[in-house]
């Protein structure tokens, strides 16, 4: 039995979706309901995944742990496809995620006004370049890593929702929009969103 520590709407949502895709039993715990969450993860970030006497942190590491230890269709077995899936997982986690994180940092670091607006718009330009890159990939194949759904697609479906919190123009191509809509309609995603609302 796993314990997933989460914050509503955070990247931990993608971890929960993957747990559900793998049909793994888990308990969902809102980090805000933990008296001393830093005792669980010293850097205070989610997701954190408890299992037996171990706590795994960092989203990509958690996802790889789950996929390497449980039968699944999310991580291809062939070397070339597996490498592509891991590469795109790290692209989503280490490139797209930080691009969106800049929006949150700017909004918290700068007071509302012209300077904040300018900085947010500049960050949005960088995000849009990433979505253009993703749209180009999806012109050639149905999913980010190839012919099948992988964790990278699930991560993108969560990250993209963060743009709604800021007054910026983030544009998605039609292939990207269709992919994200497809993922958000999966039973695992719908159930994960509902579970967060119940626990929160």
Q: What was the pLDDT predicted at 64? A: 97
pLDDT in tens, 18-70: 999 999 999 999 999 999 999 999 999 999 999 988 999 999 999 999 999 99
Domains 2-73+187-199 and 79-184 share a fold: no
Whole-angstrom Cα distance, residue 89 to residue 146?
Answer: 12
- Domain positions in the chain: 2-73+187-199, 79-184
Does the domain spanning 2-73+187-199 belong to CATH 3.40.50.970? no
Q: What pLDDT is stored for residue 63 in this prediction?
A: 98
> 79-184 has which fold?
Glutathione S-transferase Yfyf (Class Pi); Chain A, domain 2 (1.20.1050)
Distances (CA, A) of 41 to 32, 36, 92, 156, 196: 13, 9, 22, 24, 20
């Amino acid at each position: 039995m796993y314990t997933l520590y989460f914050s509503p709407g955070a990247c931990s949502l993608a971890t929960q979706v993957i747990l559900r895709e793998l049909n793994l039993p888990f308990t969902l715990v809102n980090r805000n309901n933990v008296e001393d969450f830093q005792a669980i993860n010293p850097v205070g970030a989610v997701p954190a995944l408890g299992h037996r006497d171990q706590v795994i942190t960092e989203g990509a590491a958690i996802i790889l742990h789950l996929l390497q230890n449980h039968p699944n269709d999310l991580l291809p077995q062939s070397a070339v496809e597996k490498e592509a899936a891991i590469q795109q997982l790290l692209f989503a986690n280490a490139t797209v995620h930080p691009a969106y994180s800049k929006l949150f940092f700017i909004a918290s670091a700068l007071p509302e006004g012209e300077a904040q607006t300018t900085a947010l718009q500049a960050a949005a330009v960088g995000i849009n370049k990433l979505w253009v890159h993703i749209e180009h990939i999806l012109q050639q194949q149905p999913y980010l890593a190839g012919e099948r759904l992988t964790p990278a697609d699930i991560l993108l479906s969560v990250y993209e929702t963060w743009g709604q919190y800021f007054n910026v123009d983030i544009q998605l191509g039609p292939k990207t929009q269709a992919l994200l809509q497809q993922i958000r309609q999966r039973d695992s995603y719908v159930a994960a969103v509902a579970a967060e609302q119940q626990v929160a």
